[in-house]
Structure 1
Amino acid sequence: MASKDIEASMRKSVESTQRTFNTIRTGRANPSLLDKIQVEYYGAETPLKSLATLSTPDAQTISIQPFDAGSIGLIEKAIAMSDLGLTPNNDGRLIRINIPPLTEDRRKELCKLAARYAEEGKVALRNIRRDAIDKVKKQEKEGELSEDQSHDRQSEVQKLTDRFIAEIERHLADKEADILKV
């Protein structure tokens, strides 16, 4: 595996972790809070973004305008059943979600959730590192690489891993600061 491939895989892991961070609310209304919502629509799990227009008319409200008026009840149910703890208000045309201010306890819970997501991202990076190092060791065993070349490639993979883990840590620190900001 070339180091460019390893770097690309690690970059994708970091970006995935960052997208996951975006689903954690910070006290302000943000449509990305609803990114993980899947709606049972005509027998298929469909992302909410594919069924409605999401907007934030003000800092405390998310507005959902379904493309198909018949799906409004399904969307409302999917939001209510999610683990977000949000209550949708349906007026027949629009669904509004009021984002209440976060309590101190809820902020701490969200920080723990962000830390868990960061740890999952770091585990993904370590798995990529393990696979790459296994491949290098196999090449060394088969005589394709000398012991020195193998050692150099392994330390290169470790440096990449360390760099991307530090990037996830930075994103986590930013997210925690955002969550804790009142």
Structure 2
Amino acid sequence: MKKEIKEKLKQILYYYKKTLSKIRIGKANTEMLDDITVEYYKNKVPLYHLSSIEVINSKTILIKPWENTNLSLIEKSIIKSNLGIIPINKGKFIKLVIPSLTEERRKEIIKRNNLKLEQAKISLRNIRKAYNKKIMKEFSEKDLMEKYKNDVQEATKEYISKIEKIFENKNKEILKI
């Protein structure tokens, strides 16, 4: 059971890391484009299926479509995505120049990160709650029940600590740039 709960907690940790990695913090990062889809023959297709995406330097991302006909579709999708970055169409590729963050924008991002942290903690606690209910149903021996509940509590604490560490590191990164 301990292995099972750790696997569920790892999934939340992974999702949390992935969510924070998509936040634009003034540095070029291809993961911030992961959720962008392009309308391609009446289907929503992920951007990375239609192009190569590479980081040129800390402020620039280059998007090279496999087919030049998709250039304008990709450009429109980036504008619609609400990334806050204006794509520069160079004819054969799209250049994204990541603007530096203002102090106001940094505070806004940190505030949003706080909400994401709380959501992740709630998810972890919900898993703890579900497993505690499962333990109560499956075990009648009080000692055994307490042992499993303690295991669940320890695992939950461990992952809350990991998530808080990721949160602190991300906020330091945001304030440092």
Verify same fold: TM over 0.5: yes
How many equivalent pairs are there?
Answer: 177
C-alpha separation in 2, matches of 1:54 and 1:146: 57
For residues 61 and 118 of structure 2, the distance between their equivalents in structure 1, rounded to whole angstroms, comes to 29
Structure 2: stretches of 5+ with no match in the other structure: none
Aligned to 1:58: 57
Give the corresponding residue for 1:180. 175
SS of the aligned residue for 2:52 comes to strand
Q: Distance in 2 between matches of 1:99 and 1:63?
A: 11
Find the counterpart in structure 1 of residue 124 from structure 2: 125
Which residue of 2 is the match for residue 167 of structure 1? 162
Q: Distance in 1 between matches of 2:54 and 2:163?
A: 28
SS in 2 for 1:101: coil
Q: Report if the CA contact (8 A) 1:24-1:114 is conserved.
A: no
- The 2-side partners of 1:20 and 1:52 are apart by 22
Q: Deviations over 1:104-160 (max 9, x none)?
A: 0011111122222222222221221121111111113xxxx3122112111210111
Q: Distance in 2 between matches of 1:153 and 1:91?
A: 60
Report the counterpart of residue 93 of structure 1 in structure 2: 92
- Partners in 1 of 2:37 and 2:121 — Cα distance? 26
Q: Distance in 2 between matches of 1:44 and 1:116?
A: 32
Stretches of structure 1 lacking an aligned partner (at least 5 in a row): none
Amino acid in structure 2 at the alignment position of 1:157:
V
Write the distance in 1 (CA, Å) between the matches of 2:171 and 2:8: 25
C-alpha deviation, 1:58, in angstroms:
2.1
Residue type of the alignment partner of 2:155: L
Counterpart of 1:177 in 2: which secondary structure? helix
Q: 1:16 is paired with a residue of what secondary structure?
A: helix
Query: Which residue of the other structure, out of 140, 152, 160, is the alignment partner of 1:157?
Result: 152
Cross-structure match for 1:39 = 38
Match of 1:107 in 2: 106
Alignment match, 2:134: 135
Output the CA distance in 1 between the equivalents of 2:42 and 2:120: 32
Deviation string 1:16-54 (CA, Å, 9 cap, x unpaired) is 100111101221111112122122222222221222111
- Alpha-carbon distance between aligned partners in 1 of 2:44 and 2:141, rounded to the nearest angstrom: 51
Classify the secondary structure of the residue corresponding to 1:27. Answer: coil
